[in-house]
Amino acid sequence: MNPEGFELRLLAIDADGTLVDSRGEIRAAVRTAVRRVRDAEVEIVVCTGRRYRTVKPLLDELELSGPVVLHNGVLVKDARTGETLADSFLPASLYTPALELMHSVAPPLVYVDRYFDGIDVFHEPVERCHDFQAEYLDANPGVTHPVETLSHPPEGGVVMISSMADADTLLPLKDRIDDALEERVQTNFIMNKNYRGHILEITRGGVSKWSALEAIAAERGIEPSQIAAIGDDTNDTEMVARAGLGIAMGNAVPEVKEAADHITESNDLEGVALAIERLLS
């Protein structure tokens, strides 16, 4: 798999659809392969759309330390402690226009960086939400905080505004947001792998898994050409395309496969383990 002259110094791995299988579990072969990379003193950075609270069990299972990229690049935290190392919050001036666009379909979720306060998400009453989003909120009590209205941004900075719904609802909304707010925001439309439907996210413009990963690499004196990246969904496309070696999962969307240098097996066929085996051979 390795192109001639490629030196692996950092391995970036997506979580859902990549690191974990369709049941949300890390297979034994993948766990062993990640350990081999760590033992080879290659930096491992999990790059995910998840929040810290939900990715931490995976990080602990793999015994990873160092940075983890969260919310598609908005936050970088210490994998073990949860300390925020870098953030790219949505500018306050964009909160109201972004909220109004999202609210035209249904009340969205507003994510914050308040892990130590036990709060991850603010939301309006569940009965106002899309059914798919209501299912998510019912399954995540405690860290999702209901408020009567989201008209005022929560304290501490807004990580992102997102909605869970069906594709027919969210895709036209994405186009409207892109037209209205242009490059001032980044929109991500991704599969909801743990619940029904899809997710549409609004984050600060120019923020992505790759932008966060590139900054982490630069701090360590690692060139983009020394990064291998593995992913499966549209929010992985940029890092797969721009890494020195981009690897698409067998279950990846066509956009990621087209951007990749190589395609491995699916997440249910231990694709990450096979890719690492070839990387280290």
Quote the domain boundaries for residue 179: 92-204
Reading the block at residue 249, the tokens are 């999962």
Residue 151 lies in a domain: yes
Instruction: Give the model's pLDDT for residue 191.
Output: 85
The mean-pLDDT minimum among 192-196, 199-203, 206-210 falls in: 192-196
Cα within 13 Å of Cα(274), Cβ side: 15
Tokens of 252: 């990846």
- Tell me the pTM: 0.92
Number of domains forming the structure of the chain: 2
What is the model's pLDDT at position 142? 87
Q: Which residues contact 153 (CB under 8 A, 6 or more apart)?
A: 92, 95, 110
Round the average pLDDT of the chain to a whole number and report it.
95
Please indicate, yes or no, whether residues 99 and 200 belong to a single structural domain of this protein: yes
pLDDT digits (tens, 9 = 90+) for 221-241: 999 999 999 999 999 999 999
Instruction: Answer yes or no: are the C-beta atoms of 129 and 116 closer than 8 Å.
Output: no
Same domain assignment for residues 217 and 268:
yes
Write the DSSP symbol of residue 236: G
> Tell me, what's the pLDDT at 13?
98
Half-sphere exposure of 186 (CA within 13 A, CB side): 23
Shared-domain flag, residues 70 and 167:
no
What mean pLDDT comes out for the span 196-202? 94
- The CATH number that applies at residue 178 is 3.30.1240.10
In a domain, 2, yes or no: no
Q: What is the structure's pLDDT at 62?
A: 97
For the record, the structure tokens of 264 come out as: 């491995």
* Residue 43 three-state SS: strand
On whether both 165 and 252 belong to a single domain, the answer is no
